Chain A
Amino acid sequence: MEVKILKEGKDELTFELIGADRSLSQLIVEKLNADKGVEFAACKVDHPLLANPVVTLRTGKGKPVDALVKSLKEIHGDISAFKEKFSELTG
């Protein structure tokens, strides 16, 4: 998936997830908001089918990219753990 950075500041980052839908953008925003280092994270979609989700996040201090990478790693960890549990159960 292609990611387009729309705005990058000292404590703010806005990016567009090209081709993504609500499933992924909602997951990322929820993970970011669970992070105490993130002041604010939200997703804006001009049209749920025709437009790409645009995610904005703001950190109090620290680089926003680091916060995003941390959240993505956590998502990856969650999915790997789920995958493991799932294959254990299904054999």
Chain B
Amino acid sequence: MNFWGSMQKTHVQFAILFGTLIIYLLVKSFSPGLGVAIGVLIAVEIFVMVGLEIRQGAKESGWEHEVIDTIIALVVALAIWFSASFILNTGSPLSGVVSCSMLPNLHRGDFVVVQGATVDAYTINMTKEEFDSLTSGKTTISGLNGSIHGSAYSYCVYHRQEQACKDFISKPETVVETTGPFTLRYGKCQIDYDKGSPSYGPCLESIEFKGTKYLANFSNDIIVYKSDPGNLYSTIGDIVHRVYFKINVDGENYYLTKGDNNPILDNQVYDYSSDVGNAPIPQRNVKGRVLFRIPLLGYFKLFISGFYLEDPQCSTQLNYEHV
């Protein structure tokens, strides 16, 4: 077969691949089960495409030639990856968005290009003592006796029937949460659902530090980070969230992050059944800041990596305009 013929065949394969992705997008909200099946199908299609390509090449110019061809292709791919790494100054220049915690600004299936550069966000200076009191993890909450790990929000996920939590859910603006040098306040956010009418629930409104109030800010940089072992988020791969605070502790940087579609900071999330939370992120765990996104292309990475099921957060969206 001549060059043009095999090109056309490749076109057909890509058309099938993108066609299946369109079917996936149309079907996933009606039937999650079918969505998973189509996700698996897309992963299979990608492997079949590569397999066919190798077989076709072998048929035309012999196995030896094809082995060399495949090696060249791999070398080129690695060269692109490493030059992107070099240019963008990060070990992970490309990433796929798995969850819906950054809606509406990042979507599941987005492909993001990451750059290792100075992160632009609220920057605050803390002494070692202040930072230690923040990470020791004890939080006091108005209306609640004693101090706890996590936050009012996380606590109430497990204690919905307590009076303090009933008050928190109906009047979050009356609750004051103190962790180390921070005073955290809540507001009420509108929560929009794919189906049905919206509801209103607590969401972080501001953090006060040394007399200055910092409101939830959607122009801070979004970073990609890895969570250290021992943290709640350490088992879920790379996380793409927006920076709330960049904390300078004697010249070392730490980050507090929050998903735009999450009501609280990552380090306010606490799992009381396994007694695990999330610590501030040290600079060494930050892979870079998100430069831009390419919609949908990330799905191929998700499906090859085995992320088939859409998380339930994809059908809800937190509306911060109403705080």
Contacts and interface: CB of A to CB of B under 8 A. Distances in A.
- State whether these chains interact: yes
Interface in A34-91: 44, 46-50
Interface residues of B, number: 18
Contacts of A48: 157
Contacts of B316: 46-47
Contacts of A44: 312
B147 to A, nearest CB: 20
B161 interface: yes
Contacts of A22: 157-158, 273
B199 A50 contact: yes
A11 interface: no
A26 B157 CA distance: 12
Given A47-B191, A49-B153, A49-B169, A20 B161 contact: yes
A75 to B, nearest CB: 14
Interface in B77-121: none
B156 A49 contact: yes
B201 A47 contact: yes
Contacts of B160: 19-21, 49
B55 interface: no
A21 B158 contact: yes
Contact of B161 (A21, A46, A50): A21
Give the dominant DSSP class at A's interface.
Answer: loop
B202 interface: yes
A23 B159 CA distance: 7
| Interface hub of B158, B160, B169, B316 (most chain A Cβ within 10 A) | B160
Nearest to B272: A23
B158 A23 contact: yes
B199 A21 contact: no
Nearest to A23: B158
A68 B141 CA distance: 36
Contacts of B312: 44, 46
Contacts of B169: 49-50
Interface in B220-276: 272-273
A26 B199 CA distance: 24
B191 A21 contact: no
Interface string B197-231: 00101100000000000000000000000000000
B191 A19 contact: no
A20 B161 CA distance: 7
A26 B273 contact: yes
A20 B156 CA distance: 11
21 contacts: A19-B161, A21-B156, A21-B157, A21-B158, A21-B160, A21-B161, A22-B157, A26-B273, A44-B312, A46-B312, A46-B316, A47-B191, A47-B201, A47-B316, A49-B153, A49-B156, A49-B157, A49-B160, A49-B165, A49-B169, A50-B169
Interface of B: 153, 156-161, 165, 169, 191, 193, 199, 201-202, 272-273, 312, 316
Interface of A: 19-23, 26, 44, 46-50
Closest 7 pairs between A and B when the two form their complex, measured CB to CB: A21-B160, A48-B157, A23-B158, A50-B201, A50-B199, A22-B158, A49-B169
Given A21-B156, A21-B161, A49-B202, 4 more contacts: A21-B157, A21-B158, A26-B273, A50-B201
